[in-house]
């Protein structure tokens, strides 16, 4: 979808028009007669978020009702969802272009609607002989935003698309080495420094978690460090973004049975998310010093694969008893977190990981299971931003009792606890490596990849979390004022 800015007057516009209607119904700018206005009023009364379609053959006028009086975050999310519905209607009519304007609507609401259209129009077409239909062009009324504002949003949405593309690619077409070199290529074009550690370097660094998980693989692991360090950064010490990059999770020797293996190409969504956030921040020149640390490998039951009972020595010297080779994410993340703490002394460390089925069982596919240690202030801001962009976080407890569950008889800790509280013991495992560094853990297992359409998210990779973390970085300075 290509967005352009134009003047849009529905009464004169030769094409499909979407009219965002946040006001009491009046006929000011609408090409409607009295009867049609009455109909619109009635529909709006029945459902304040109804979409009312008028034939203006050969085109259509789509009046999107919404209640501008509601909480901004709520009406914006409603608009994203309505956008998805209108996009589906346009596609049903085989239409590929549309104009957008409105009344009683503020720029943020127009942008939310555009965002819904954009996110909804994505599909993973790479392997299809014939791509499904897309909206080619959308002309937005230039009274609502400037070209620069549009460009900033487009850059963010473009990053979400890139993230989805990576996550949707099967491991056969995107292994650790290939993913690392993709990131390297992108970093070159931006103000981003990229360092890629190959297996030799990872061995020299003694990242026992990443090497352990990689043992069964025929592909080498990679460890990618991205750094965006703007001159006007509001933070002296960087914010570290750690992302789980399991290119494919078979479970390893504790192999995933039946359908449980499906969709595990998405197990690198954390790394894709963090890379995308950093790139978007760099492209839009947000004043925040960021470092992304992305450990990458697949998890397979090869001949030399790591096994339950193995003891791994992590980057920071901690020994870990492997109880289950399918709890691999925390092993590679532990090395990345320890590496970040030792080498960057970050003022805040956030990780994103498709870490546990337990997180999905706990809250389903409607948000991120989040935990924090020593990071009340940034966590609160992240929560507010989550509600605002509607990529929400739900805080799980992080009581010290959970630490008991990962004590090991033979090593310092073990890589999984009991059947209960699995999302939390996974988070606790990671938090240990963050030590005193303010730490936020985001378990995105429920939201990174949707098996079926969910609102404006098409089936497959969602890019969920990028808008959240970008909004957080945009307002990051606020964590300073309150301290
Ligand atoms: N990648 C999975 C978690 C996952 C499950 C993500 C479902 C998305 C959807 C992770 O590596 C895993 O297998 N976790 C195990 C941990 C267990 C062995 C302690 C799990 O959640 O079952
Ligand atoms: Zn696993
Ligand atoms: Zn995994």
Q: 253-269 pLDDT, tens per residue?
A: 999 999 999 999 999 99
Say yes or no: CB of residue 323 within 6 Å of ligand 1. no
pLDDT over 90 percentage in the chain: 94
Q: Looking at residues 419-442, what average pLDDT do you find?
A: 98
| Whether residue 413 has pLDDT greater than 80 | yes
Residues counted in the chain: 483
Task: Check if CATH label 3.30.70.100 holds for domain 2-145.
Answer: no
Torsion sign over Cα 103, 105, 111, 117? negative
Render pLDDT for 145-197 as a digit per residue (tens, 0 to 9). Answer: 999 999 999 999 999 999 999 999 999 999 999 999 999 999 999 989 999 99
> What pLDDT, on a 0 to 100 scale, did the predictor assign at position 480?
85
Q: How far apart are CA 78 and CA 53, in angstroms?
A: 18
Catalytic residues: 256, 330
Q: Do domains 2-145 and 155-481 have the same CATH topology?
A: no
pLDDT at 483 exceeding the cut of 70? no
Two tokens, residue 118: 């954009």
- Name every residue whose Cβ is closer than 8 Å to that of residue 69 and which is 6 or more positions away in sequence: none
Q: Which residues surround ligand 3, an ion (CB under 5 A)?
A: 246, 249, 267, 329
Q: Give, in degrees to the nearest 5, the angle at Cα 200 between 194 and 204.
A: 95
Atom of ligand 1 nearest to the CA of 328: 11
Give the pLDDT score at 28: 67
**Which are the contacts of 229, defined by CB distance < 8 A and separation ≥ 6?**
193, 238, 289, 290
Q: Are 223 and 197 in contact (CB under 8 A)?
A: yes
C-alpha 203 – ligand 2 centre gap (Å): 22
Distance, CA of 101 to CA of 23 (rounded, Å)? 13
Query: pTM here?
Result: 0.98
State in Å: Cα 35 to ligand 1 middle.
57
Read off the pLDDT of each residue in 195-201 and give the average, rounded to a whole number: 98
Residue 235 vs residues 126, 191, 287, 346, 349: alpha-carbon distances, Å: 40, 17, 8, 10, 13
Is residue 416 within 6 Å of ligand 1 at its C-beta?
yes
pLDDT tops 70 at residue 462: yes
Beta carbon of 327 within 6 Å of any ligand 1 atom: yes
Q: Using the predicted structure, report yes or no on whether residue 482 has a pLDDT greater than 60.
A: no
Write the CATH number of the domain with boundaries 155-481. Answer: 3.40.630.10
- 202-245 per-position pLDDT tens digit: 999 999 999 999 999 999 999 999 999 999 999 999 999 999 99
In this predicted model, what pLDDT tens digit does every residue of 66-86 receive, in sequence order?
A: 998 888 899 999 999 999 999
- Tell me the average pLDDT across 56-61: 94
Domain boundaries of the chain, sorted by first residue = 2-145, 155-481
pLDDT of residue 30: 87
- Determine the pLDDT at residue 354: 99
Element (H, E) at 335: helix 329-344
Q: What is the pLDDT of residues 300-340, one digit of tens each?
A: 999 999 999 999 999 999 999 999 999 999 999 999 999 99
């Amino acid at each position: 979808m290509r967005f352009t800015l134009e003047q849009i007057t529905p009464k004169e516009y030769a094409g499909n028009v979407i009219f965002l209607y946040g006001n009491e119904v009046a006929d000011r700018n609408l090409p409607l007669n009295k009867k049609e206005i009455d109909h619109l009023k009635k529909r709006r009364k029945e459902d304040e978020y109804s979409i009312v379609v008028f034939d203006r053959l050969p085109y259509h006028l789509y009046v999107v009702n919404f209640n501008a009086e509601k909480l901004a975050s709520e009406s914006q999310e409603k608009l994203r969802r309505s956008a998805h519905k209108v996009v589906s209607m346009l596609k049903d009519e085989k239409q590929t272009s549309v104009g957008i304007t409105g009344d009683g609507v503020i720029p943020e609401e127009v942008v939310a609607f555009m965002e819904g259209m954009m996110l909804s129009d994505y599909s993973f077409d790479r392997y299809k002989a014939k791509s499904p239909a897309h909206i080619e062009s959308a002309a937005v009324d230039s009274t609502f935003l400037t070209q620069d504002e549009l460009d900033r949003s487009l850059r963010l949405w473009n990053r979400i698309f890139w993230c989805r593309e990576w996550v949707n690619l099967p491991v056969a077409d995107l292994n650790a080495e290939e993913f690392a070199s993709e990131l390297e290529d992108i970093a070159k074009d931006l103000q981003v420094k990229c360092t890629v550690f190959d297996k030799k370097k990872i061995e020299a660094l003694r990242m026992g978690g990443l090497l352990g998980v990689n043992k069964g693989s025929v592909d080498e692991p990679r460890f990618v460090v991205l750094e965006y360090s703007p001159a006007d950064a509001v933070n002296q010490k960087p914010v570290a973004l750690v992302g789980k990059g399991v290119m494919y999770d078979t479970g390893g020797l504790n192999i995933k049975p039946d359908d449980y293996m499906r969709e595990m190409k998405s197990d690198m969504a954390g790394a894709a998310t963090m890379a995308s956030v950093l790139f978007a921040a760099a492209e839009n020149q947000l004043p925040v010093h960021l470092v992304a640390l992305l450990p990458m490998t697949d998890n397979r039951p090869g001949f030399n694969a790591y096994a339950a009972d193995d003891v791994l020595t992590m980057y920071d010297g901690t020994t870990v008893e492997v109880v289950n080779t399918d709890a691999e994410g925390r092993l590679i993340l532990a090395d990345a977190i320890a590496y970040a703490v030792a080498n960057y002394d970050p003022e805040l460390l956030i990780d994103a990981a498709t870490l546990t089925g337990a997180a999905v069982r706990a809250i389903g596919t409607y948000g991120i299971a989040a935990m924090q240690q020593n990071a009340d202030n940034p966590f609160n801001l992240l929560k507010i931003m989550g509600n605002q962009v509607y990529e929400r976080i739900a805080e799980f407890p992080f009581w010290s009792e959970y630490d008991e569950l990962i004590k090991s008889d033979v090593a310092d800790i073990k890589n999984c606890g009991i059947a209960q509280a699995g999302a939390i013991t996974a988070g606790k495992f990671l938090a240990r490596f963050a030590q005193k560094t303010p730490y936020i853990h985001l378990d995105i297992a429920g939201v990174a990849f949707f098996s079926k359409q969910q609102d404006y998210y098409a089936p497959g990779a969602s890019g969920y979390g990028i808008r959240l973390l970008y909004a957080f970085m945009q307002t990051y300075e606020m964590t300073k004022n309150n301290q």
